[in-house]
Chain A
């Protein structure tokens, strides 16, 4: 008998149909991954199982937990079920905890909601659970507040809260998406161990197919509210039927056709012993100021037409370095030279023309009240005599065509575009001054895999067409691997390893690079998998 059985679940909010006839089940001790791109309805499926849907949602179909029909339960019965029989872990550990309560109290709250016991006993249980998820009491006492913990540690607290009552079913909605790769690997291991130890069912929602392939016993692929394909992980990967599943995997493994780099060009960007300090708040009233050194004497060059990757985990100083290269913040020591001009916050505006930047979030990096045409021409304030009239219209048309959009789209507002189109507009904005160097700061991290593949192709194509050099900053190793010639690995404000991208990936020298590469989840080799399943099924 299955632990959770969802049958013909349909859900609509107002006129909008969110889920259509979703059917799947989870057995005790089984890990089922629901995967798909944004808007596929995977998170709504999770919330439907918790019965924590928005008030305006209308559902039909069945959600059975054991032999109980959840859709028919009273709110009181559902409250008794949530946290007790079903636990849930959310995506964003930074905001999933109440900032005003100590972690011990938050874990003990789950316990005391569902069992009558003295406070001390609940706290003892909470302490045991926190220790189990890797937060031992000597270093992480119950009195710690969430803001005193890192993202990974907070996610452990959220997990402890969710499993404190040893629920039969655990739902994890993108539990590692907000975490660094090394932390992600540890949290995924923890979840796997817990499933085994408690014999829980795990419903895991994730967009990351590499994580899915690694973790799940079974996969459910969703698209626009419908299940397009499901089955045993190995079998499904080896014998994908639905075109969407195939497209999704193809996009995840997408290799960019990068034009060969030409050797022997002059350096256009030169970073020499760059040092960047941040003042820390004074600990004593009259004590001398102390500083945090975010960038510790970094040196590297980028040559004309060269594609350089920069990887490292959050807090390693990537963003600080980016701001210094863009001349937004001053260095405390060393120097940065771009196109022969020293880079500093007070550099002349014209010197900024040849270096442009594309940021991560396509939703918040535009002014929503401006039309695309105006957004695109913003960099022209760096130019003494900006083009006007027909010449301007022509340039706007050219860059829009360059990034695969129509010239007429200059008249639209930014909310009329999808995330992928917005990122194309961001690239067009960077291209309009005909730069020779573009900084891509996590420029594809917020995009779905299929869109990401298209944008990566566009970047490769543009680098060929315009002989562009770029610095591609990302936490995602698989992306950096396909679009760069040379790779810098950054840790704690230092570059610990650099070299040709393929060489660094195949024979990493520094222990940190090795850890990073080992921690990154990878998609299995599908042909090998196919052979294996075929031999297994072949008659003896």
Chain B
């Protein structure tokens, strides 16, 4: 198990190095010079040159890459070209919206998907299964911003249980902050839980056909006991894979939901920085997201090994 963990950790480190190289050089070749963009169309060449040297853009590519990576390791992501504020600060404000929102949505989606998937699998072909599958079909098909608008209409405008948008901030207390994230989290979670429930159902149905499930029944387990004790854990591998992918998506893929609910999240930050050619912010946010995604993959790998002893013994 230790060897497996070390191997996964090594692969995590290598992935990060490769990712940082790719991000840096891809963004370097994107046309558009931040200095000329900031100064507008009528800027004099020497003013642009002066700004370039001030921003450190005239150094060699290697020097700039090393400075960028070195800074990030120490928690310094550089200074935004547009806002002239430290990128660390900009990210810091927003990650405390995006990360809790992603975790909140993922928790909701798992809490909905597991029972729904298990219920549908245990009633395969019966009306209960068809109802759940019909609902998930709808959940996959309907875009999340439509859910978002419906939630605002019902719970914010008609019932007035929640506010229609904005984030109150964590300094107003955890319950208030969570409350202001609830509608966006539900809007994000519904389509994700529909996908996850379908994966859970089909993984369980595969496992239900396995010989060891028949063995379990021959030992005297009821259908339900066999499903919960022997079926569920065997079905977890594909489900964990999807959960890992969904978390990555939820972190940065919430741009539209952030717009609908006026949330100051990472998605909006990336969108604004790209429009403004604020390369240093784009680079840093993308790198941070890549780091989080790779970290999640690493955790999912560890979860696989926790579930399946065959992975632990294979080195």
| Contact A82 B219, CB 8 Å, known A100-B234, A147-B309, A281-B315 | yes
Interface size of A in residues (CB-CB distance below 8 Å):
36
Q: How far is the CA of A79 from the CA of B212 in the complex (A)?
A: 16
Q: A100-B234, A100-B307, A281-B315 are in contact. Are A95 and B211 (CB under 8 A)?
A: yes
B65-94 to A contact mask, C-beta < 8 Å, 1/0: 000000000000000000000000000000
Residues B219 and A100 in contact, CB atoms below 8 Å apart = no
For residue B222, CB closer than 8 A to chain A, the reply is yes
Q: In this assembly, does A523 line the interface, its C-beta being within 8 Å of a C-beta of chain B?
A: no
Bound together, the chains give a CA A81 to CA B214 distance in angstroms of: 15
CB-contact partner of A50 in B210, B211, B218, B221, under 8 A: B218
Residue in A76, A90, A96, A283 whose Cβ sees the most chain B Cβ within 10 Å:
A96
B212-258 residues with Cβ-Cβ distance < 8 A to A are 212, 214-222, 229-230, 233-234
CB distance from A85 to the nearest CB of B (A): 9
Contact A79 B220, CB 8 Å, known A96-B212, A96-B215, A100-B233:
yes
Find chain B residues with CB under 8 A from A99 CB: 212, 234, 308-310
- The residue that A90 contacts in the complex, of B214, B220, B310, B314, with Cβ under 8 A, is B214
B313 on the A face (CB < 8 A): yes
Shortest distance between the CB of A23 and any CB in chain B (Å):
24
Counting CB contacts under 8 A, is A75 at the interface? yes
The residues of B that contact A102 with a CB separation of less than 8 Å are 309
Q: A79-B222, A90-B211, A113-B221 are known contacts. Are A98 and B216 too (CB-CB below 8 A)?
A: yes
A96 to B212, CA, bound (A): 4
Within 8 A of B (CB), among A304-332: none
Task: Say whether B220 contacts A97, CB under 8 Å.
Answer: no
Distance (whole angstroms) from the CB of B167 to the closest CB of chain A: 42
**B181-211 CB contact bits vs A (8 Å, 1 = yes)?**
0000000000000000000000000000011
Interface residues of A in 162-201 (CB under 8 A from B): 162
Q: How far is A96 from B214 in the complex, measured between Cα atoms in Å?
A: 8
A102 to B229 CA separation, bound complex (whole angstroms): 13
A100 is contacted by which of B221, B308, B315 (Cβ under 8 Å)?
B308
Query: A132-151 interface mask toward B, CB cutoff 8 Å, 1 = contact, 0 = none?
Result: 00000000000001011000
Q: Is the CB of B219 within 8 A of A161?
A: yes
Contact of A114 among B220, B229, B310 (CB under 8 A): B220
Complex contacts, B216 vs chain A, CB 8 Å? 98
A522 smallest CB distance to B (angstroms): 30
Chain A min CB distance to B302 (Å): 16
Inter-chain contacts of B233 with A (CB < 8 A)? 100
| B236 (CB) vs chain A CBs: closest residue | A100
Residues A87 and B218 in contact, CB atoms below 8 Å apart: yes
Q: Is the CB of B217 within 8 A of A82?
A: yes
Chain A 461-504 per-residue mask, 1 if CB under 8 angstroms from chain B, else 0: 00000000000000000000000000000000000000000000
Which residues from A are CB-within-8-Å of B211?
90, 92, 95-96
CB <8 Å contact, B217 and A97: no
Contact partner of A158 among B210, B215, B220, B221, CB < 8 A? B215
CB distance from B102 to the nearest CB of A (A): 29
Residues of B within 8 A of A84 (CB): 220
State A101–B226 Cα separation when bound (angstroms).
13
Q: Which B residues touch A75, using CB under 8 A?
A: 222
With beta carbons under 8 angstroms apart, the residue of A97, A145, A283, A285 that contacts B310 is A145
Q: A88-B215, A162-B218 are in contact. List 18 more A-B contacts (CB 8 A).
A: A50-B218, A76-B222, A82-B219, A83-B218, A83-B220, A92-B211, A97-B212, A98-B234, A99-B212, A100-B308, A109-B221, A109-B229, A113-B220, A145-B313, A147-B310, A148-B313, A161-B215, A281-B314
